[in-house]
Amino acid sequence: MIEQILISLSLIMSLGYIFYKSMVIYRLPFSDPFDPAFVYLIFIIVFFWNNALIFDFAYSFWSSIVVFVGTIAFILGNSLSHNSRLRANNEYKHYMLNYRLALLFCLFVIALSFLLLLIKLSYYGYSLSQYTSNMLEFHATNIKSGGYFWTVFEKFLHFSIIYFIYCMVHRKPNLKTLFLSWLILVLFKLANLSHSRWDYIDTAITILCLWMILIKGRPVFKMYWLLCLPFVPAFMIALNILRHGRTLQGEYDFFQAIQDSLKGDSGPGIYFDKFIQYFVETDAYNHGIFAFYQMFALVPRFIWTDKPVTSSLIHYTKVIMGEDPYLDGSTYTYTVFDFFGIYHFISLVPLMFLFGWLSRKLYNMIYNSQRVSVKVFCIIFTSNYINTLRGSFLDQLTLLIVDVFILMIMYFLLERYKRKC
């Protein structure tokens, strides 16, 4: 009972913070669907409150305490940064690509993305038909050889196409350009045959961000957007069937499938409970060793065959869940509260505080930065924010560093000239 109360209090605190902040700043109960605090609220509902009160999962006392204390630390850190009304600053003092050139570059990036996929398939000895029959099997093979090696190239292409789309919408800020930009993003995802369901939802989030920044000039929340929610489970189910290479056969209960999908997608909140119990029982804290190992995450295993396991998620999948990601491709996530695994509450509280502060800082830069590369970096961070919360922020440090490196490349290639077109 106390566990459900603590998790419910975490939900109430998150909801209260959003409501208070929105009413004070915008005079509206909800004002911004991409605000880090709002996404954090969704995270608490889906991965903890949903499990505890809807699916009757029995969280341990320590797990509920971690959620409660972590939520307080996150809210305090999130409230530190500038919390005034956001208005988009779309005046740039640097070079901006014209519409046609940006569109041409988008098509070029799509072609490069498909070429990279073919190179990967050739390296692993897969055909296109084998890949589409079971995408997860291929990505399990990719993990064995150090998937981060390919991720560097994939992220560079992703960063590039968002940059060029931003230039397109900046040049022609209308709904027609937004729709064309969405089609380009979908083509980009299809070109690399992405197996991630979130990648396709991410396209809509990115376009909505651009609409708010370049057309509306401020955060916007429309109540009729809630009408789209019933279509999300069906969309997720269809993508899940696709990536597993399965088709619907025999009797099929759609509502049961939705319930199963929601229960499965909230899994990290359940694995988190096992994660916390493991450390409480064994006292085997990692003292930040996996944060240190992130320095070597980009080194592929075909170069360094004896490279230690750099991912905390892979390590704890083997240790806690008793499964080998290198054999079956399954990697369990334990949510952003895996900060607890470094050294109890001594690591959880300050790191959740810093995470809340950083989230707010990066989100505000979407509106107030005068550099497109910085805005693109923050848009990508925001569009993938729910995955950061459900996964492991420590495991994503390398990818964030890669994003910063790409940001610097974009600056020197496209924004160093102090002139306008």
From first to last of its 421 residues, the chain has per-residue pLDDT tens of 888 999 999 999 999 999 998 888 888 888 888 999 999 999 999 899 988 888 888 899 999 999 999 999 999 999 987 667 888 888 776 778 889 999 999 999 999 988 888 887 777 676 666 666 555 555 555 545 555 667 778 888 999 999 999 999 999 999 999 999 999 999 998 887 766 677 778 888 999 999 999 999 988 887 777 677 666 666 665 666 555 555 445 444 555 555 555 555 678 889 999 999 999 999 888 888 888 888 787 777 777 878 888 888 888 888 888 887 766 667 888 999 999 999 889 999 999 999 999 999 999 999 988 888 889 999 998 988 988 898 888 888 877 888 888 888 888 877 766 554 4
d(CA 152, CA 46): 30
Question: Distances in Å between the alpha carbon of 372 and those of 6, 156, 157, 232, 345?
Answer: 42, 15, 16, 31, 38
For residue 363, what are its two tokens?
């989100």
Q: The whole model's pTM is what?
A: 0.87
Structural tokens at position 195: 């197996």
C-alpha torsion angle, residues 250, 201, 317, 388 (rounded to 10):
-160
Distance, first Cα to last Cα, the chain: 63
Neighbours of 342 (CB within 10 A): 20
Tokens of 264: 């499965």
Angle, helix 372-383 to helix 340-368, in steps of 10 degrees: 130
Between the alpha carbon of residue 304 and those of residues 140, 296, 299, 308, the distances in Å are: 19, 10, 7, 9
Tokens of 130: 């084998």
Return the CA Rg of the chain: 22
How far apart are the C-alpha atoms of 140 and 143, rounded to whole Å? 5
Q: Where are the beta strands (DSSP E) in 142-235?
A: none
The Cα–Cα gap between 389 and 90 comes to 29
Tokens 């229960």 appear where? Answer: 263
Could you tell me where the beta strands, DSSP code E, fall in 244-338?
A: none
